[in-house]
Structure 1
Amino acid sequence: MRLKSFHAKTMSEAMRMVRQSLGDDAIIVATREEEGGGVRVTAAVEEDDLPVAQESRSRQPSKPAKPVEPEIDVGEAVADALHRHGVPAALAEQLIDAASNLDTDDPCLALGSAIDSMYSFNPLPDGRTAVKPLVLVGPPGSGKTLVAAKLAARAVFRKRSVGVITTDTVRAGGVDQLAAFTRLMKLKLATVEDPDALTGAYAVHSKTDLVLVDTAGRNPFSEEDMDDLRALLSAGEVEPVLVLPAGLDALEASDMALAFKSVGVRRLLVTRLDIARRLGSLLAIAHRARLSFCDASVSSKVAEGLTSLNPMALARMIIPPAEPAEAEEREPQPVSRTKPAVRPTKPATKAKAVSSPASRTLP
């Protein structure tokens, strides 16, 4: 049995597409309304009912049918993956259209090209050249302290001078956690409580290759919290970097990103990719707030560091490569001359080729 999904603006248009593609014998398996408009219809038809299959048997009745690898509809594969990851419908349609413009039968490559055309990528510096102090901002629990430790460790490993400052003096254990990390790296941790003290800390590190500032978590929907953050950022010429975890609700996270963008954020650093299974919120955040992807954390261990994001890295997380066992299933099986060919009980299908679980590591 062959399954295929059709997306259209109206049900009548979707049914017309079903009849044109699968014929009048097609069976409607499922229908659903898409977020943002339109409907998706999934239909099935027996392989024997397909006109192409009948024509083939009539021309060569005496020869066994040659195994054919499953066809992959790139647009449909990209659409299914984006739907599985919870990408908002309007954004998904733009990505699907961009992916369809690339002449390839590889859905991952097509999605990577679409992401490259719609998003910007700007990895964080490691201290090789003079840069503004990096101030890590975000809501409570987003992973800013761990990111500060990872950035410091990366710069130390590359033999750059590093200055680490924390303003997170309210949260219980906030200073102690970062102090434990810096102690292992033999770095001094400066603790400041107000913008004036922060200005002085910047002056102390005026000749340091990389200065990192860990801030307290701020409620992006609280005017008081955001005013405090603006005052902190005005203490020097700095670059605020938004730290957000993966796996959030797409609309909620986008609203957060817009609030932090109002204080000068231009780059998005993603955390908790190791425990997130749906990444649609990341695409929604960067698109709606017009933020550049920079780095990502895929582990809670400081030693495993950060990974720079790029279009193909994101595409492989959304449409991961097929497992070796699945690839073997899709290879045509040789027909024995002494024994009749045995038809597999679970033939490889297009869905099998593209619906493996999301990868937990970045390439």
Structure 2
Amino acid sequence: MTIRRYLVKDMKEARARIRYELGSDAIIVSSRKVRPKGWKNLFRKKRLEVTAALDSPRSAPSFPNPPAGKIPEGTVRSSVRPEAQRQQPQQLLQQGSREEHLEKEIRELKKMMDRLMEEKEGSEGSEGRSFPVCLMQHLKTMDLDDSVLREVTAFCSQVGNAGMDLRKARQFFSDFFHRSILTEEKAEQRVWVFIGPTGVGKTTTIAKLAAREVLKGRKTGLITLDTFRIGAVGQLRTYADILHIPLEVISSRQDMSGAADRLQNCDRILVDSAGSNSRRMDQLLEIQACLDEIKEKQTILAVSATTRRSDLKMILENYGNVGYDSIILTKLDETQCYGSILNIGCYSDKPIRYFTVGQAVPEDIRQVSGENLLDYVLKGMEV
């Protein structure tokens, strides 16, 4: 019997090499993950070690050629096994039948093992990793809160490695979104106020939403409190001129109610506040005092998808003191790490309402749904 071991990337490569070197009659005896020896290979990925066997055909017994002439009678008798002399024809037929049956069983066993390996390979991720392992490795690159990872781990254990696949993962995250991110918010108000840290793209986001409202046939007005940032008023005025909608610029909270009254014929009023340092409570309290001048409003917090986990948690907690009703996640096109989507569900009980994916007005803004969030969270999953 010929036995060989192969160090390969996956089972597909193993079967190809086995068929090439040993032929189609060889069978796979075992497979396991191993790491190549040596300190240089310490941090390399494990390889697949596959052991294959081929049952070599029996060779006919060889006898020394007798010298020419008469063969001694004793030699002839000694070269024939006594058992063979005593075997009857019926016994020989039965023995042949058993050998054929055994060969058939071996062939069936080989087919079954090949089929099982194909099924196993189909249920595994790249380089032989199981789907749950692939999923956890994917999620660990997303700077996720530990509570999310624990919840996913518990779900994988509940379902079982064999039963966990992409469909189950999508169902898990869909349930998570509807429970934590797509929760119902209060009845829609006429006035939308936008707050958030500096540099998250509030003004551009407001322009996108204003354009959407105008395209829907709604009378829309703009108010800006952001008189501190150079060019902020000019940027919003440009958008207002393009859309042919009114813009009110105010410099103090006392002007807020008057500006809202001047836009009372508008179906929608969008208010741009000054960006603030989320660590400065004095700035946040100043924004809160200004917003208190508007009695009926919906406050929307804008946060960037590029914000790292610890900062995102602080922003959501500190702006929680100001009060907000929903969230807009901006700059989703500027990152490959979409963990902020799930982290918001951990750190806030408010829903994500929109997300932005570029600078184009009004195209690059999307209303949140379970499906488009799933596409981002599971983007790049190797299955």
> TM-score of the superposition, structure 1-length normalised?
0.69
Q: Kindly indicate whether the alpha-carbon contact (under 8 Å) linking 1:251 and 1:284 is maintained by their aligned counterparts in 2.
A: no
1:105 and 2:165 matched: yes
> TM-score of the superposition, structure 2-length normalised?
0.66
1:136 and 2:194 matched: yes
Once residues 165 and 99 of structure 1 are traced to their aligned partners in structure 2, the CA distance between those partners, rounded to angstroms, is 49
Once residues 285 and 111 of structure 2 are traced to their aligned partners in structure 1, the CA distance between those partners, rounded to angstroms, is 80
**1:243 counterpart SS class:** strand
Please report how far the alpha carbon of residue 201 of structure 1 lies from its aligned counterpart in structure 2 after TM superposition: 1.3
Unaligned runs of at least 5 residues, structure 2: 1-7, 11-29, 37-44, 53-104, 125-129
Once residues 308 and 101 of structure 1 are traced to their aligned partners in structure 2, the CA distance between those partners, rounded to angstroms, is 33
Please report how far the alpha carbon of residue 77 of structure 1 lies from its aligned counterpart in structure 2 after TM superposition: 3.5
Q: Kindly indicate whether the alpha-carbon contact (under 8 Å) linking 1:122 and 1:267 is maintained by their aligned counterparts in 2.
A: no
1:75 and 2:132 matched: yes
1:128-277 equivalent positions in 2, closer than 5 A? 131-237=189-295, 238-277=297-336
**1:115 counterpart SS class:** helix
Q: Please state which structure has a larger fraction of its residues in helix.
A: 2
Q: Please give the per-residue CA displacement for 1:160-197, whole angstroms capped at 9, x wherever unaligned.
A: 11111111011000000111111111111110111121
Q: Kindly indicate whether the alpha-carbon contact (under 8 Å) linking 1:167 and 1:214 is maintained by their aligned counterparts in 2.
A: yes
Q: Kindly indicate whether the alpha-carbon contact (under 8 Å) linking 1:86 and 1:280 is maintained by their aligned counterparts in 2.
A: yes
Please report how far the alpha carbon of residue 123 of structure 1 lies from its aligned counterpart in structure 2 after TM superposition: 8.8
Q: Kindly indicate whether the alpha-carbon contact (under 8 Å) linking 2:224 and 2:272 is maintained by their aligned counterparts in 1.
A: yes
**1:169 counterpart SS class:** coil
Q: Please give the per-residue CA displacement for 1:98-124, whole angstroms capped at 9, x wherever unaligned.
A: 476677632552343342354132699
* Corresponding residue for residue 304 of structure 1: 363
1:281 and 2:333 matched: no
Q: Kindly indicate whether the alpha-carbon contact (under 8 Å) linking 2:223 and 2:271 is maintained by their aligned counterparts in 1.
A: yes
Once residues 184 and 265 of structure 2 are traced to their aligned partners in structure 1, the CA distance between those partners, rounded to angstroms, is 22
Once residues 124 and 187 of structure 1 are traced to their aligned partners in structure 2, the CA distance between those partners, rounded to angstroms, is 28
Q: Kindly indicate whether the alpha-carbon contact (under 8 Å) linking 2:31 and 2:49 is maintained by their aligned counterparts in 1.
A: no
Q: Among residues 107, 110, 115, which one is paired with 2:176 in the alignment? A: 115
Between 1:66-75 and 1:157-166, the stretch displaced more is: 66-75
* Corresponding residue for residue 15 of structure 1: none
Once residues 166 and 273 of structure 2 are traced to their aligned partners in structure 1, the CA distance between those partners, rounded to angstroms, is 42
Please report how far the alpha carbon of residue 94 of structure 1 lies from its aligned counterpart in structure 2 after TM superposition: 1.4
Between 1:92-101 and 1:271-280, the stretch displaced more is: 92-101
Q: Please give the per-residue CA displacement for 1:313-340, whole angstroms capped at 9, x wherever unaligned.
A: 2221121377xxxxxxxxxxxxxxxxxx
Which letter maps to 1:156?
A: V
Between 1:259-268 and 1:168-177, the stretch displaced more is: 259-268
Query: CA 1:46–1:159 in 2, change beyond 3 Å: closer, same or farther?
Result: same
Between 1:116-125 and 1:239-248, the stretch displaced more is: 116-125
Unaligned runs of at least 5 residues, structure 1: 4-22, 30-41, 50-55, 323-351, 354-363
Aligned length: 285
Once residues 9 and 184 of structure 2 are traced to their aligned partners in structure 1, the CA distance between those partners, rounded to angstroms, is 44
* Corresponding residue for residue 314 of structure 1: 373
Query: CA 1:266–1:77 in 2, change beyond 3 Å: closer, same or farther?
Result: farther
Structure 1 segments (4+ residues) deviating >6 Å = none
Once residues 163 and 264 of structure 1 are traced to their aligned partners in structure 2, the CA distance between those partners, rounded to angstroms, is 23
Query: CA 1:227–1:25 in 2, change beyond 3 Å: closer, same or farther?
Result: same
CA RMSD of aligned residues (A): 3.2
Once residues 303 and 110 of structure 2 are traced to their aligned partners in structure 1, the CA distance between those partners, rounded to angstroms, is 61
